[in-house]
Structure formats: C-alpha cells, structure tokens
Amino acid sequence: MSQAKRTALSSKVGSIAAMANETSADTTTWREMAVARSLDPARVRAEQRVQRFVDSAMELLQSSPEREFTVAEVVERSGQSLRSFYQYFAGKHELLLAMFEEVVRSSAEQVLDQIDDVTDPLERLHAFTSEYYRICRPSRPGDGTTANAASVMADFAQQLLTRHPAEAARAFAPLVSIYEALLDAAADAGAIRPGIDHRRITGVVLQAVMFNTFADTISASSIREPEPAAEGLWQLLLDGLGAGPRD
C-alpha cells in the first residue's frame, strides 16, 4: 500500500470516534429529552438528578434475579421524590430507554479503546467483534452478584427493536457509526470484498454479536468461554460456511 493511501486510510479510521460523537450530537436522546422537561434553570443539577435515577435503576436491574424493578424502588434508592421522577420521565419506559442509550454509549467507548492501537483494517473489525462479544456475553455462575449491564439490557433491546424501531435505531447509532466506518476503511484497503452494503452488514454483525447467547440456547450448547466463542463467531463472519472458492 502506498504511503499516501496509508495516510488517507489512517486519517479515515482515526475519525471513527468523531463520527460516532457527531451522530450522537445530531440525535436527541431520551436523557436529553428528560432533562429538557425540567423546570429547574440549573441544567447541571437536572442532569445530576437524571443520572441518579438512571444509576439507581441500573443497580436494581443488575442485582435483581428477575432483572426487574419498579419506579417506586428506583425513587427510594435514588433518594429523590416520585414527583421529581415524573418531572424528568413520563414513565418507566422512558427510563429504560435512557438506560439502554447509556449502555450503548459506554459499549462504544469500550470498543474504541480496545481498537485504538490496532492499525490493520481487518484486525480492527476483528477486535471490534471480539470486544463487543465480551461486553454482551451473559453473566454466568461465579461471575459475581452484579450482572453485566449490556447483557442485562438485552431483554429490553428485543422489545425496543420490535416495538419501537425508530428509538432502537437512535440508540444504536454510536455503534453503527463505528462499525460502518471500520467496514469502509477495510473496503478501501481491499481487505473485504467490494460491493456489499456496509450499513446492512453492520446491522447483521451487531445483531449476531449481541444476541449470540440465543445460539447456545437453540443448539442446547452450554455458554462457552468468551474468547473461543468470539473467535468462532468472527471466523463465521469472515469466511462464511463455504469450503473454499466457488466457480
């Protein structure tokens, strides 16, 4: 690869985080909508109150065996009032949306940190897949009392995708931006085959990684260690099921 092309590729891949931030900035999130409802002129204080509700709900969701909580429990745990809760959220559904968006943003930041030192375009896709798989894997016996936030929110993600597709697309925007940009960079480097729909492939990959646990359930397999399982999924995504080149 020429130095000019390598420099251009490096610049494009290096802008992934900025692209994700721009996507988020252009989209009004439920957190922002919740804060905007506040009559309190001190926006920072309103943001802190919203965060306390979100943090309390996440703590309850992670610690509950049933992965469930009530608004009353969130209010009590946050040390705030029910009136204050409804000042920021129309109900539990909006709180869940705010929680889901926060988990997605946090996951995007973790993935970016993991791939930051990887320079090869194909290996960046590999690293993204492995790290996101690790983030989304379900908790197992022995992992501790606190469940992984991303895996806890997976149940709500299914409801969101089927009942509120526009809200789901908005929530997933940071991860979609990152992976689509990685595909663009890999295509420019000739590392993946040309002519594929990068946006569509991004959706397929994120779906496959996030809900891979159901593959174990369907096939009656035990939940495997994250590294070999993630590598197996990557090989399937990279090579497909073919035995070799076809005419």
Q: What is the spatial distance between Cα 112 and Cα 159, in angstroms, rounded to a whole number?
A: 27
User: Is domain 3-27+100-239 in CATH 3.40.50.2000, yes or no?
Assistant: no
pLDDT tens digit at each of 247 positions of the chain: 444 544 444 454 455 545 545 544 456 677 777 776 655 456 778 888 999 999 999 999 888 777 788 999 999 999 999 999 999 999 998 999 999 999 999 999 999 999 999 999 999 999 999 999 888 876 654 444 445 677 777 777 887 888 888 888 899 999 999 999 999 999 999 999 888 999 999 999 999 988 886 777 787 776 556 677 888 889 988 887 665 555 4
Question: pTM for the full model?
Answer: 0.74
The residue extents of the domains of the chain are 3-27+100-239
Note the maximum CA span of the chain: 68
Q: What is the spatial distance between Cα 234 and Cα 205, in angstroms, rounded to a whole number?
A: 9
Q: What is the spatial distance between Cα 138 and Cα 151, in angstroms, rounded to a whole number?
A: 5
